[in-house]
Structure 1
Amino acid sequence: MPMNETKPENLGGTNRAGQQIDPWKAFYVLLAGGFMTLLDISIVNVALPSITLNLGATSSQLQWIVASYSLAFGLMLVPAGRLGDVFGRRNLFAMGIGGFTAASLLCGVATSANVLILARFIQGGFAAVISPQVMGLIQQMFRGPDRGKAFGFNGASIGVSTALGPVLGGLLVSALPLAWGWRSIFLINVPIGLIVVPLAMRMLPAPSGERQKIRLDLVGVILMSLITLLAMLPLIIATEHASLEGAPWWMLGIAMACWVVFMAWEILRDRAGQVVILPRALMRTPSFVLGTAIGTCYFVGFSGFFVTLTLYLQDGLGFAPWQAGLMQLPFAVGGTIAAASSGKLLARKGRSLVIIGITLSLSCMVALDLTAHFAPQGQLWWLVPIFFFIGGLGNGSTISPNQALTLSDVPVESSSTAAALLQATQRIGTTLSIAALTLAFFVTLPLPLRGQAASEPGQVALFSAGFSNALHVTEVAMLLAIILGLVDRFRRRH
């Protein structure tokens, strides 16, 4: 069906004026809002060296600038989905866009690294408010084949934003003066947000008259936040001190104790019939448990890689921001190609498809690791894109298929909770990945070299060693994901 045609059964409600909405026009508004939040995940990486120079950010502050967004995103996803059910998805979507726009403005005018960290945390929190409303409104507005088509277009926008982020960020940082180059990657969201908010209020379906009671597992959310922070802090403190010895690793033990308390709290609360983050029905579903573990390990290895890659290409090898952005484009192209065909392949290959995808991604990382040590610097401009294309094929064959397999056996009454929890664990994995990989990268560099570009062969070798150390973390995490995938494959066959 053409995009401008609408069947009566697809009309997802009325707007605040009581008029029937056009679901496809409303869908464009959703895409615009979701695209902003997705673009901000990848666009900031290429600007990190410029932020360091302009704001004098330390290595640990760089970790927080990237990780605070993912941290807030992951922690807010579950309660944000529930708030959308209570107050109306249109209202939460518009509020999320408004808050995200204001936070982007605050990022763009930040006068210090700490202000930028705070603004990024706020930005990530409002991005989490937007995300579940997009998915919920698509389900509300569409039926039958059009729902699949809408989800397909939404998936394509993820690939486009992933591809456009590093390229657009690199072009802006390269074309504009230092102080404005990195600021523009945040300020670009402001005019978009000012347009999307009124369109959302006018074109998206109004909430029903009934308002549900707010039921949230606040203790569970606090415990999840505490566990994540306790796992992150030793990594960030070690980066700040440039030594693994001075970090408070005992915090990891407290994080494990908090995890035990969290599990006990969730079980007791679920037995009492109250709202929980992790229902017992999900704990008893092996495909969900293993699939979530696979996705978390993969995101721990995959997400922080692009931060260290940008620092290596720009500070270590002297590539311009636009060059570093273009070199990452084949990754998004390969991911889009693989994701487009993964639906058909999943029906035939099942868990084997995910194992193959992670193996391709791991092969890309191993090839980049060897390249950092042995390939002449002048050959990197064509070697890296080839490896990235292979890695993109692996990424596109991993994330969406693993999500489908993870949720395949989840009880219907727990499906929304399971989807939100899966996304939350992936974002928390992203946060830990950024902290762990940047630690492995920076701990190799002497303090005077951090935030500075390499100017002699010996310094380039140090950057190569740091990048290789970060890749070792990625390789171990992906290898663990493959092992868990093999366990799930064996379980499914027997």
Structure 2
Amino acid sequence: MSFTDTSRPPSQGDRRRWFALAIVMTAAFMDLVDVTIVNIALPSLRADEGATLSQIQWITAGYALAFAAGLITGGRLGDIHGRKRVFLLGMGGFTIASVLCGLAVNPEMLVASRILQGAMASLMVPQVLSIVHATFPAHERGRVFGLFGAVVGLGAVSGPLLGALLTQGDLFGLGWRSIFLINLPIGLAGLILGRAYITESRAPRALRLDLVGVALVTLGLLMLVYPLTRGHELGWPLWGHLSMAGSLVVLAVLVAYERRKSARDGSPLIELSLFRVNSFAAGIAVQAVFGIVMGIFFLVWTLYLQTGLGWTPLRAGLTGVPFSLAVSVAAAVSVQRLVPRFGRKVLQAGALAMAAGVLLYLWAADRYGLDITEWQMMPGLVVMGAGMGLIVAPLTDAILSGVPREHAGAASGLISTMQQTGNALGLGLVSVVFFGVIGEPVAPERIGAAYAEGFRHSLGWVAGGMVAIFLLMFVLPRRPSHDTEEATVPEPRTAGEPEPDLVG
């Protein structure tokens, strides 16, 4: 297929759009599975390769940081050069980086390969939402995002189980390496089918990549996340505090520059006019906090189960199945049945349910201590999973509901950037809320008690984050609106012309 401009979705009779949806959903599934697979394999990887605690954090945080730093750029590159083209480039690069991870000869090479993998994912993932946004008409997107929520749940189920089976099964003697090499056949199939079925789309007017904006956003995120991740290990040096404070200055300069860039030539990296859309501004704040609490929970939970309680990867992976199934079921029901009737209240109910599930899990962990079983964990995990399912699928639709098609890539990049930045911050905060509590080194006879104490402390932070999300959701629209979207794609404007108001 040729790389042609399209500003309207294919006709409803075009069945290729459903094949295209399956392909981009597979990419999203591959990215999600990769994260959850890595989490479940971290203790085995640490034991086999002798990785330090800092390197363990960087195997996850390095990916998240590279992902976050490149997402806005990836979304804008899709707008400029074509979403199909950039999606396929990202998928190819992600597949190659996965192979490098699987062939890593030491922890340093693995961390570097994970950073490359995150950078390639930042090209691939923003195109998923923007291809959906540009391919499907507004009235079909609720159904599509319901499917997306189900895929999220399926990925959450498959990742831990697949990681446990591959790690503990030692497939072909590869051990933990197979968790990365499994991406090779999936990536190759995605590339072949993607070329055949995805329709190209890009912004209807010519845009240019804002290289200064790219440099500023990357520098600001690095200055914030790097010292947070390394702080505990290095004893919280002065330069780390100065770097985190300086990141706020860099981000403020970024906003000022993007405002001038938009007025001058209309090709900013970050489309600031998007923040006038109330659903978008509030939604990405929710995404950021949600990313923080999930980044904390999943890494700490894995360490607690396998290192603190001494469970095998397979047992730990199976323990997460009730949570993941609850996410998948609740995500499908929320979009199809609940949100059309109750609107924003569904998302807020999800936030409160997650907080209640965390507190229920905290109570069980405190009562049963190191003798806790999977069955005693299950009630808290099921309630948490149901709450997450009520949030993940409708939140995406709520955020994008008022965004013009022209800025679909930029908006998708910002959404994913805030989520992944939050995730990287959460992984960095593990140094504070978990390792800062247990202290290092820990005597062998105290590992179980220390990790259990750190886990309980971390759950308190997660519950607090969910309450904050509940309050932020009051700013979201009562119901996602698609009324104006089809008609609010702004006309090209000349330099110096004011930005259009996207709210009205």
CA distance in 2, matches of 1:145, 1:486: 24
CA distance in 2, matches of 1:200, 1:280: 31
Give 1:442's aligned residue: 435
Say if 2:43 and 2:303, in contact at 8 Å, map to a contact too: yes
Change (3 A) 1:405 1:151: closer
CA distance in 1, matches of 2:475, 2:75: 32
RMSD: 3.1
2:99 counterpart of 1:111? no
Give 1:346's aligned residue: 339
Offset at residue 244 of structure 1 (A): 4.9
Offset at residue 118 of structure 1 (A): 1.1
Offset at residue 330 of structure 1 (A): 1.4
Offset at residue 469 of structure 1 (A): 2.6
Provide Cα deviations, 1:345-364, integer angstroms capped at 9, x if missing partner: 22333332222211111122
Offset at residue 472 of structure 1 (A): 3.0
Give 1:17's aligned residue: none
Give 1:56's aligned residue: 50
2:269 counterpart of 1:295? no
Most deviating of 99-108 and 435-444: 435-444
Give 2:193's aligned residue: 199
The amino acid that maps onto 1:471 is: L
Residue number among 258, 264, 277 corresponding to 1:272 in the alignment = 264
Residue number among 232, 244, 260 corresponding to 1:239 in the alignment = 232
Residue number among 180, 184, 202 corresponding to 1:186 in the alignment = 180
Change (3 A) 1:289 1:271: same
Say if 1:235 and 1:247, in contact at 8 Å, map to a contact too: no
Residue number among 36, 44, 52 corresponding to 1:42 in the alignment = 36
Residue number among 246, 249, 258 corresponding to 2:250 in the alignment = 258
Change (3 A) 1:184 1:87: same
Residue number among 378, 384, 400 corresponding to 2:371 in the alignment = 378
Change (3 A) 1:479 1:240: same
Give 2:449's aligned residue: 461
Say if 2:51 and 2:107, in contact at 8 Å, map to a contact too: yes
Residue number among 297, 304, 311 corresponding to 1:305 in the alignment = 297
Most deviating of 26-35 and 389-398: 26-35
SS at match of 1:248: helix
CA distance in 2, matches of 1:365, 1:246: 35
Percentage of pairs with the same residue: 34
Say if 1:316 and 1:460, in contact at 8 Å, map to a contact too: yes
The amino acid that maps onto 2:111 is: I
Provide Cα deviations, 1:416-458, integer angstroms capped at 9, x if missing partner: 4333212211111111111112442122334333xxxx853x3
Say if 1:138 and 1:151, in contact at 8 Å, map to a contact too: no
Most deviating of 24-33 and 472-481: 24-33
What is the aligned length? 470
CA distance in 2, matches of 1:260, 1:50: 42
2:311 counterpart of 1:323? no
Offset at residue 122 of structure 1 (A): 1.1
2:325 counterpart of 1:337? no
Unaligned 5+ segments in structure 1 are 1-7, 13-20
Superposition TM-score, scaled by structure 2 size: 0.84
The amino acid that maps onto 1:166 is: P
Say if 1:34 and 1:131, in contact at 8 Å, map to a contact too: yes
The amino acid that maps onto 1:117 is: V
Say if 2:369 and 2:452, in contact at 8 Å, map to a contact too: no
SS at match of 1:260: helix
CA distance in 1, matches of 2:467, 2:169: 40
SS at match of 1:124: helix
CA distance in 1, matches of 2:61, 2:130: 26
The amino acid that maps onto 1:223 is: L
Say if 2:75 and 2:412, in contact at 8 Å, map to a contact too: no
Give 1:475's aligned residue: 463
Say if 2:280 and 2:400, in contact at 8 Å, map to a contact too: yes
Residue number among 102, 122, 127 corresponding to 2:121 in the alignment = 127
Counterparts of residues 7-26 of structure 1 (less than 5 Å): 9-10=11-12, 22-26=16-20
The amino acid that maps onto 1:45 is: N
Offset at residue 203 of structure 1 (A): 4.1
CA distance in 2, matches of 1:223, 1:433: 22
Offset at residue 140 of structure 1 (A): 5.3
Residue number among 331, 350, 357 corresponding to 1:357 in the alignment = 350
CA distance in 1, matches of 2:435, 2:174: 26
Unaligned 5+ segments in structure 2 are 1-9, 481-504
2:61 counterpart of 1:67? yes
Say if 2:76 and 2:269, in contact at 8 Å, map to a contact too: no
Say if 1:54 and 1:179, in contact at 8 Å, map to a contact too: no
Most deviating of 423-432 and 270-279: 270-279
The amino acid that maps onto 1:103 is: A
CA distance in 1, matches of 2:239, 2:463: 24
Offset at residue 162 of structure 1 (A): 1.4
2:20 counterpart of 1:32? no
Offset at residue 487 of structure 1 (A): 5.6
Superposition TM-score, scaled by structure 1 size: 0.85
CA distance in 2, matches of 1:350, 1:152: 14
CA distance in 1, matches of 2:157, 2:89: 27
Give 2:170's aligned residue: 176
Say if 1:32 and 1:196, in contact at 8 Å, map to a contact too: yes
Residue number among 209, 222, 234 corresponding to 1:216 in the alignment = 209
Provide Cα deviations, 1:98-121, integer angstroms capped at 9, x if missing partner: 211110110001112121111111
SS at match of 2:420: helix
SS at match of 1:123: helix
The amino acid that maps onto 1:474 is: V
CA distance in 2, matches of 1:116, 1:24: 36
CA distance in 2, matches of 1:400, 1:205: 24
The amino acid that maps onto 2:183 is: N
Most deviating of 316-325 and 348-357: 348-357
Change (3 A) 1:313 1:336: same
Say if 1:334 and 1:389, in contact at 8 Å, map to a contact too: yes
